[in-house]
A and B are shown apart, each in its own frame.
Chain A
Amino acid sequence: MTDLVEQDTRAMSVAVTKSRYQSEEFSARLRRRYAAERRFRIAGMLAVGIASLMLVVLLGSIVSKGYTAFWQAQIRLEVTLDKQQVEERNYTALVRQALYAQVPAATDRATRRSLNDLLSSGAPYELEAMVNANPSLVGTTQTVWVRADDEIDQFMKGFIRRDVPESERRLNDVKIAAIDALVANGSIRSTFNTTLFTAGDSREPEQAGILGAVVGSALTLVVTMLLSVPIGIAAAVYLEEFAPKNRWTDLIEVNINNLAAVPSIIFGLLGLAVFLGFFGLPRSAPLVGGLVMALMTLPVIIIASRVALKAVPPSIREAALGVGASPLQTVTHHVLPLALPGILTGTIIGMARALGETAPLLMIGMVAFIVDIPGGLTDSATAIPVQIYMWADSPERAFTERTSAAILILLAFLILMNGLAVFLRKKFERRW
């Protein structure tokens, strides 16, 4: 652009006589053209800006919604582990008595009943687990910190506002007064939310964790990897190195390209009809999820591997063949090792996509509510993205927070995988 301006001014200084380059009309047109140029450039910048802005907004909104989920409010109780009560396994009563002791002002039944809601419904089980782990505690008085109910947690984090009228608030005045009393004597604290990382799903937000989904995703990915990586690389090697050019291999090629663009939910329908309906494999199992994901990532891996194989120069093959290697030896000893970084990069990207995929898993029933951590390939399980989908549907405010936290965990995994892919690409990048 600047070059043109310089040329123009030079042209003008040389041509002193009136030429059409100096005419009013010409300079007006030039201005218009330069303005159009600027507008076009700005439009380009705007497009890139919008894309970056959306990324920032997206990540910002999820981080701002989710970071609080890593903290959880706990309530301190001085529990007297009465021998008789423990033998009757009446931990609920034990926990409640201890709570009433913390708030001496609460004496009437109605107040005490709303006090009961302050604790997580899992609190008695926490106590029970503690006693079971250490039976010598029976008969003593112990200071324990138990999880607070999710609404108390949300109140402590400031998501339930105190200044709205009581009728529109999730917490009534009695509870808020009780919380204030507990805060005043230091009986409420906020700690790192370990439950989020160590528990399975739950209907109660404060007891819900992501571990079951993480294990389910890991099992699914293991099946996907074991199937799609060897098959994908073998298919790519065949198509790129051995296949004759004929109608059959053309058909295979067209097929692979088409499969790469088939909507993921169709693969879910395939899994439902074939693996569940025809082969009778169990519903909700990581085995079936992995099979479906393997079929889905296969074209991605084949295409990436073929590109990597194609990048290996023919001279290397010719040299190997020249010293008497068989075609298979040429590939396994020389071509594949050189193409492996590229194949690995493509594979990791394919796995990352499989990790984030949700729709096919909904079709094969991995959307079930499962509390237990899956122990094997045929156990009922769920996966991280499906867990996100399920939590996103839950009405409690605390689940919104946990959904965002689960998304952050998923994104962390994805960034790790993609980072690894980029690292491998950079490390093994080579020019021939």
Chain B
Amino acid sequence: MQLTVLLIILALLTVIGYQMGRSRAVASVGGRIVELHSVPSYHGFYVALWAGLPALLLFAFWGASEGWLVMQMVLSGLPDRLVNGDAQSLGLLRADILNLAHGVATGREPDPEVVAAAERYLRLHALGDWSLLVIGCCVAIGGLLYARGRIDPDLRARNRVERTVNIALVICSLVAILTTIGIVLSLLFEAIRFFAVVNPLEFLFGTHWSPQMAMRADQVGSSGSFGAIPLFAGTLLITGIAMAVAVPVGLMAAIFMSEYASPGLRTWLKPILEVLAGIPTVVYGFFAALTMAPFVRDVGNSLGLSVSSESALAAGFVMGVMIIPFVSSLSDDVINAVPQSLRDGSYGLGATKSETIRLVVLPAALPGIVAAVMLAVSRAIGETMIVTMAAGLTANLTANPLDAVTTVTTQIATLLVGDQEFDSPKTLSAFGLGLVLFVVTLTLNMVALRVVQKYREKYD
């Protein structure tokens, strides 16, 4: 509540600051704007930045550290018998305080000390919010007054404003790098914790996947087994089926649209493929599970084959359909990039259109097509919803497309959905799988980009 008020006040102050800076700059030269170093609006922006930016930084800093700070203060006030536990019980205590403070039922009779701590947490929280409101306003008004006092015909307002904006632009472009670092670090940290329990070699080369961990040590299968080969095999099988559908259909569709189709037909066909690309994957998953899988099963049964109701074939086929537009639009670009002179040369020698395409255009476009297929493969490997909904959960080491198989992404999704403790090997194994998935798709993308870079514009 206070935070919203603060943001509104800040927005108001920046607007006021802009107007103030502007009018003061104009007044300082008595209306002869030419005498100003910068245009009046830059003086306005200068004051607005001073009013808004320091307070906003304070706000961001507070937002990132508030929860931790308040919790530390609350914990330091608790008696030793509660706080002097190991990391796990401390985490539990924190969660209890938070749950009580937010009114979430924990299902347990809370300790009176914890109840008091929750109240203190709420009190400190409210105090913190109010002080942030007051301090934030003070900082903003202070900044505004400071900048207003500095307005002067000689003030290099434009340079200062532009430097600030430039810094902001650089920071924005660094977000992509930060995201990558965040992905790598979060995957690595959790995966290292996982590999401390499970031998990486066993994980990468074991052939038995059953991540169930027992609650008690004496239960059957208490250790769990983390051999990921069946998952990799299942992923490869489904990816293979998807590629067998997507590459020929996508490539031929691209060839037809760029070489044969009339412009009128093209304007109709392109949107159809675009619609296919725009359908959310969960819809494909629903289609695969409810329409395609029973269809495949019925056809298989009528042919006397035993087909599992969640077959790799159904999931792979639907995934192939999903990837068709991806392959076709990428190949379309590459085929269009092949210079017309090559085609004309081929026609001049008396080749038919299909001969020209097969023997001249496709070889010329091959690097681009290879890159497109690689990107498609990485997309198929990383696709989650279709396989989660239609491919099953049993880790089968099989090459039979009619069996149910499971994939890396399915396992990640099922391991982390639902109520799980977040430090058992079972949940941590999802991060191990995520790391493998990230490395594999990253490698494929890098290779694809390299191929395109290396062979692009060779004919221009």
Contact of A261 among B251, B378, B430 (CB under 8 A): B378
A101 at the binding interface (Cβ < 8 Å)? no
**Contact (Cβ within 8 A) A265 B172:** no
User: What A residues does B430 contact at CB under 8 A?
Assistant: 269
For chain B, give the interface size range. 35 or more
Given the known A-B contacts A54-B321, A266-B187, A411-B279, are A37 and B353 also in contact in the complex, defined by CB atoms under 8 Å?
yes
A50 to B381, CA, bound (A): 23
**Contact (Cβ within 8 A) A265 B354:** no
Contact of A410 among B183, B283, B328 (CB under 8 A): B283
Contact of B176 among A34, A39, A57, A299 (CB under 8 A): A299
A231 to B379, CA, bound (A): 26
A256-267 CB mask vs B (1 if < 8 Å, else 0) is 111101111111
Query: Nearest Cβ distance between residue A223 and chain B, in whole angstroms?
Result: 14
**Contact (Cβ within 8 A) B186 A37:** no
Contact of A328 among B162, B173, B176 (CB under 8 A): B162
**Contact (Cβ within 8 A) B280 A262:** no
* B interface: dominant SS: helix
**Contact (Cβ within 8 A) B422 A50:** no
A65 to B249, CA, bound (A): 28
Binds A, one of B133-141, B207-215, B391-399, B410-418: B410-418
Query: Nearest Cβ distance between residue B134 and chain A, in whole angstroms?
Result: 23
A358 to B321, CA, bound (A): 19
Q: Closest chain B residue to A241 by CB distance?
A: B169
**Contact (Cβ within 8 A) B283 A266:** no
User: What A residues does B64 contact at CB under 8 A?
Assistant: 279
B272 at the binding interface (Cβ < 8 Å)? yes
User: What A residues does B378 contact at CB under 8 A?
Assistant: 261, 263
**Contact (Cβ within 8 A) B179 A295:** yes
A61 at the binding interface (Cβ < 8 Å)? yes
A window 212-261: CB within 8 A of B: 230-232, 234-235, 237-239, 242-243, 251-252, 254-259, 261
**Contact (Cβ within 8 A) B177 A252:** yes
Given the known A-B contacts A263-B437, A269-B430, A326-B162, are A51 and B168 also in contact in the complex, defined by CB atoms under 8 Å?
no
Q: Closest chain A residue to B166 by CB distance?
A: A242
User: What B residues does A263 contact at CB under 8 A?
Assistant: 378-379, 381-384, 409, 437-438, 441
**Contact (Cβ within 8 A) A389 B187:** no
B269-283 CB mask vs A (1 if < 8 Å, else 0) is 100111110111111
**Contact (Cβ within 8 A) B375 A261:** yes
B421-447 CB mask vs A (1 if < 8 Å, else 0) is 010000000110010011001100110
Query: Nearest Cβ distance between residue A412 and chain B, in whole angstroms?
Result: 12
Given the known A-B contacts A37-B352, A418-B278, are A252 and B253 also in contact in the complex, defined by CB atoms under 8 Å?
no
**Contact (Cβ within 8 A) A277 B422:** yes
Q: Closest chain A residue to B257 by CB distance?
A: A48
**Contact (Cβ within 8 A) B175 A389:** no
User: What A residues does B166 contact at CB under 8 A?
Assistant: 238, 242, 328
A275 to B355, CA, bound (A): 56
Query: Nearest Cβ distance between residue A53 and chain B, in whole angstroms?
Result: 10
**Contact (Cβ within 8 A) B256 A47:** yes
Contact of A270 among B174, B175, B183, B409 (CB under 8 A): B183
User: What B residues does A98 contact at CB under 8 A?
Assistant: none
**Contact (Cβ within 8 A) B176 A411:** no
Given the known A-B contacts A37-B354, A359-B384, are A62 and B283 also in contact in the complex, defined by CB atoms under 8 Å?
yes
User: What A residues does B249 contact at CB under 8 A?
Assistant: 47, 50-51
A237 to B165, CA, bound (A): 11
**Contact (Cβ within 8 A) B445 A252:** no
Q: Closest chain A residue to B102 by CB distance?
A: A282
User: What B residues does A385 contact at CB under 8 A?
Assistant: 280, 282, 385
**Contact (Cβ within 8 A) B169 A234:** yes
Contact of B416 among A33, A40, A363 (CB under 8 A): A363
User: What B residues does A45 contact at CB under 8 A?
Assistant: 256, 260
User: What B residues does A265 contact at CB under 8 A?
Assistant: 382, 384, 409, 412-413, 434, 437
A411 to B41, CA, bound (A): 45
User: What B residues does A326 contact at CB under 8 A?
Assistant: 158, 162
Contact of B358 among A40, A264, A272, A328 (CB under 8 A): A40
Binds A, one of B78-86, B112-120, B147-155, B284-292: B284-292
**Contact (Cβ within 8 A) B165 A328:** yes
A418 to B250, CA, bound (A): 22
Query: Nearest Cβ distance between residue B43 and chain A, in whole angstroms?
Result: 15
B345 at the binding interface (Cβ < 8 Å)? no
Given the known A-B contacts A238-B170, A359-B384, are A258 and B285 also in contact in the complex, defined by CB atoms under 8 Å?
no
Q: Closest chain A residue to B39 by CB distance?
A: A329
User: What B residues does A122 contact at CB under 8 A?
Assistant: none
User: What B residues does A196 contact at CB under 8 A?
Assistant: none
B252 at the binding interface (Cβ < 8 Å)? yes
Interface centre among B170, B176, B249 (most CB of A within 10 A): B176
Query: Nearest Cβ distance between residue B293 and chain A, in whole angstroms?
Result: 12
Query: Nearest Cβ distance between residue B165 and chain A, in whole angstroms?
Result: 6
**Contact (Cβ within 8 A) B442 A262:** yes
**Contact (Cβ within 8 A) A33 B352:** yes
Known: A252-B173, A263-B381, A359-B388. 13 other contacts (CB 8 A): A39-B354, A40-B358, A44-B260, A47-B256, A51-B328, A234-B169, A261-B445, A266-B187, A269-B431, A327-B162, A328-B165, A356-B279, A400-B290
CB<8 Å pairs between A and B, sample of 17: A40-B358, A48-B257, A51-B273, A51-B276, A52-B269, A52-B272, A262-B438, A265-B434, A269-B186, A270-B182, A273-B186, A328-B162, A362-B416, A385-B282, A388-B286, A410-B283, A414-B278
Closest 3 pairs between A and B when the two form their complex, measured CB to CB: A263-B382, A356-B280, A44-B256
Binding site for B on A (CB under 8 A): 1, 4, 33-34, 36-37, 39-41, 43-48, 50-52, 54-55, 57-58, 61-62, 65, 230-232, 234-235, 237-239, 242-243, 251-252, 254-259, 261-270, 272-274, 277-280, 295, 298-299, 302, 326-328, 352, 355-359, 362-363, 367, 385-386, 388-389, 392, 400, 403-404, 407, 410-411, 414, 418
